[in-house]
């Protein structure tokens, strides 16, 4: 397993980590298999979506914030209940197929680390399964 370290700079922020995952896959020399990208945090997530137009990530951030606003009305007393809920909506892992040593992503797809309670130092676990 490889660990990628990320420093986030905002409370809510989607960071394109596709190039990091590509590098880990290249360095593994695995030609065919699956890469599992996993976020070991309860107030962050991982998702695949468009990375061509940055407005898409911004729209996702804004919509999640509108659907799950920060603030009062939650039982969790730490003050970041909305961050936990956003994390569960987005999810904590993705899988991508590796073929001929390349990530099989759609033309417009990228892999995004989703920060919901930053700024923080974060980790992303990357596991490659050959097959
Ligand atoms: Zn909390």
Q: Quick check: 117 pLDDT over 90?
A: yes
- Radius of gyration of the chain, Cα coordinates, nearest whole angstrom: 15
Task: Decide: pTM greater than 0.95.
Answer: yes
**Could you tell me the sign of the dihedral formed by the alpha carbons of 110, 113, 118, 119, in that order?**
negative
Q: How far away, in angstroms, is 56 Cα from ligand 1 center?
A: 27
What does each C-alpha distance from 67 to 31, 87, 103, 120 come to in angstroms?
Answer: 41, 13, 32, 23
User: Each residue of 68-87: pLDDT tens digit?
Assistant: 999 989 999 999 999 999 99
pLDDT band at 10 (very low <50, low <70, confident <90, very high): very high
Q: How far away, in angstroms, is 22 Cα from ligand 1 center?
A: 32
Give residue limits of the domains in the chain.
2-130
Residues whose CB falls within 8 Å of the CB of residue 67, separated by 6 or more in sequence, listed in order: 89
Mean pLDDT of the chain: 97
pLDDT band at 91 (very low <50, low <70, confident <90, very high): very high
Q: How far away, in angstroms, is 83 Cα from ligand 1 center?
A: 8
Rounded distance, CA 55 to CA 57, Å?
A: 6
2-130 belongs to CATH 3.20.20.140:
no
Judge whether 127 and 33 are in contact, CB under 8 Å: no
Judge whether 37 and 126 are in contact, CB under 8 Å: yes
Q: How far away, in angstroms, is 2 Cα from ligand 1 center?
A: 26
């Amino acid at each position: 397993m490889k660990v990628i370290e990320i420093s986030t700079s905002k409370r809510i922020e989607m960071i394109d980590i596709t190039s990091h995952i590509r590098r880990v896959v290249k360095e593994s020399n695995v030609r065919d298999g699956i890469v599992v990208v996993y976020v070991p945090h309860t107030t962050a997530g991982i998702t695949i979506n468009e990375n061509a137009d940055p407005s898409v990530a911004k729209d996702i951030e804004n919509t999640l914030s509108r659907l799950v606003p920060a603030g009062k009305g939650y039982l969790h007393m730490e003050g970041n209940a909305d961050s936990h809920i956003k994390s569960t909506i987005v999810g904590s892992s993705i899988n991508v197929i590796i073929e001929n040593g390349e990530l099989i992503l759609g033309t417009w797809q990228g892999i995004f680390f989703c920060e919901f309670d930053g700024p923080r130092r974060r980790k992303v676990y990357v596991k490659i399964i050959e097959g």
